[in-house]
């Protein structure tokens, strides 16, 4: 519903103005934040800012437009069932948490059936208030931006204070039977404290690079991540494994870290056992070498710096940090945190993570996926 009809513009007018300015707009949502973005040439900043704020402050949410978007949303729900990786990441949250983080990011069919323009307007007025919004930009003079933003935003009211919804990590197991030759499994554990525990979150990011992984077929040419532990110790050794990689889904106060794997159903029990063993190995002092850690730190730093070469990424990073931390921390702060990580830090964090209840989700032929109790017993 972003960038549709507003009090001052029709959707057609918005599209026409974007074409004249050569602008590119987008909107995305995660479980904790929503982003409206406008990317354009610097000379069009005033016009871009006015359109962006108009679309964010004055949407009409017309019922006919809501109905059109609901058709697209239902198609997205149907596609989700055919995409095991996206489906399982959703399931991890649904069974791994109680409270707000257990709410689906992609609305199920029964929820879509209840949505109309009035419900969307109510949600908008409760959440889109001045005290909950950050305007972030890159590639523009701050004072220049501030002058225009003040004119457009100074009369925006603060909303009624709302209690932050709570979530509790509980762990659990979800199994979805599907007609497939392959079985997909995601095994995860809690990252206590989430992004707000900055040092732990930094260690987790380096551990993900350290473990790495990927698919048995590497698109775009060979060589990417081939020195990571999961490539060397799993993908290069067990040829029945189709994919095997570390992942994270992290929020402000909690998060998930684990391994996602794809394998024929006859090998899935062994593959899950290997995943548990690889996680335990990272938590065991002496298993990870200084060379591996230094390589992971260098690779993580390189990836972060490369991403920040994009002004689009920089603007979004500024906004997300302000919402999470209340300020933007300099990149040197995070780079120093990475440089200071030791082997003891890696093992200590991994042990703390593995001390939480596991969350497992599987898709496909799930008959031979090990029982949840087996995973818990392996970790004792």
Q: Which domains, and CATH codes, for the chain?
A: 11-153 (3.30.830.10), 172-378 (3.30.830.10)
Average pLDDT, the chain: 93
Quote the CA–CA distance of 346 and 158 in Å, as a whole number: 43
Binned at pLDDT 50, 70 and 90, residue 224 comes out as low
At residue 222, does pLDDT exceed 60?
no
What's the pLDDT tens digit per position in 156-203?
A: 988 777 788 899 999 999 999 999 999 999 999 999 999 999 999 999
More confident site: 50 or 106? 50
CB 277 within 8 A of CB 243: no
Question: Which residue in the block uniquely carries the two structure tokens 């473990």?
Answer: 211
Share of the chain above pLDDT 70, in %: 97
Quote the CA–CA distance of 67 and 115 in Å, as a whole number: 9
At residue 219, does pLDDT exceed 50?
no
Question: Which residue in the block uniquely carries the two structure tokens 């996926």?
Answer: 369
pLDDT value for 225 = 56
Q: How many CB atoms lie within 10 A of CB 188?
A: 27
Long-range contact pairs involving 322-331 (C-beta distance under 8 Å, separation at least 24): 322/134, 322/136, 323/33, 323/134, 324/195, 324/196, 324/252, 325/196, 329/198, 331/304, 331/305
Q: Output the CA–CA distances (angstroms, integers) from residue 339 to 103, 208, 212, 256, 283, in the order listed.
A: 36, 15, 19, 23, 19
Q: Output the CA–CA distances (angstroms, integers) from residue 80 to 75, 259, 264, 366, in the order listed.
A: 9, 20, 21, 18
CB 252 within 8 A of CB 321: no
Reading the block at residue 251, the tokens are 């929020």
CB 91 within 8 A of CB 184: no
């Amino acid at each position: 519903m972003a960038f549709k009809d507003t009090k001052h513009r029709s959707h057609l007018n918005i599209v026409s103005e974007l074409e004249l300015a050569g602008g590119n707009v987008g909107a995305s949502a995660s479980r904790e934040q929503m982003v409206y973005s406008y990317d354009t040439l610097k000379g069009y900043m005033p016009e871009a800012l006015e359109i962006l704020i108009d679309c964010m402050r004055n949407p009409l949410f017309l019922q006919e437009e809501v109905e059109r978007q609901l058709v697209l949303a239902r198609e997205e729900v149907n596609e989700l069932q055919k995409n095991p990786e996206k489906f399982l990441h959703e399931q991890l949250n649904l069974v791994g948490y109680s409270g707000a983080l257990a709410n689906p990011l992609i609305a199920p069919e029964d929820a879509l059936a209840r949505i109309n323009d009035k419900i969307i307007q109510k949600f908008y007025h409760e959440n889109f208030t001045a005290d909950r919004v950050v305007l972030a930009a890159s590639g523009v003079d701050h004072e220049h931006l501030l002058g225009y933003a003040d004119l457009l935003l100074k009369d925006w009211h603060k909303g009624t204070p709302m209690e932050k919804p709570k979530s509790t990590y509980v762990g659990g197991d979800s199994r979805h039977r599907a007609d497939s030759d392959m079985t997909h499994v995601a095994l995860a554990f809690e990252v206590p404290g989430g992004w707000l525990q900055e040092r732990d979150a930094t260690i987790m990011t380096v551990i993900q690079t350290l473990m790495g992984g990927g698919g048995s077929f590497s698109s775009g040419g060979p060589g990417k991540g081939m020195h990571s532990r999961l490539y060397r110790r799993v993908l290069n050794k067990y040829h029945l494994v189709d994919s095997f990689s570390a992942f994270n889904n992290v929020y402000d106060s909690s998060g998930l870290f684990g391994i996602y794997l794809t394998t024929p159903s006859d090998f899935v029990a062994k593959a899950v056992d290997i995943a548990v063993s690889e996680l335990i190995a990272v938590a065991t002092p002496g298993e990870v070498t200084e060379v591996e850690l230094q390589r992971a730190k260098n690779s993580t730093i390189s990836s972060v710096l490369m991403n920040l070469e994009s002004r689009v990424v920089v603007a979004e990073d500024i906004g997300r940090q302000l919402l999470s931390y209340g300020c933007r921390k300099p990149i040197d702060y995070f780079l120093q945190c990475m440089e200071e990580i030791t082997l003891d830090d890696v093992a200590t964090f991994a042990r703390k993570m593995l001390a939480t209840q596991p969350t497992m989700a599987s898709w496909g032929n799930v008959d031979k996926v090990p029982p949840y109790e087996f995973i818990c017993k392996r970790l004792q």
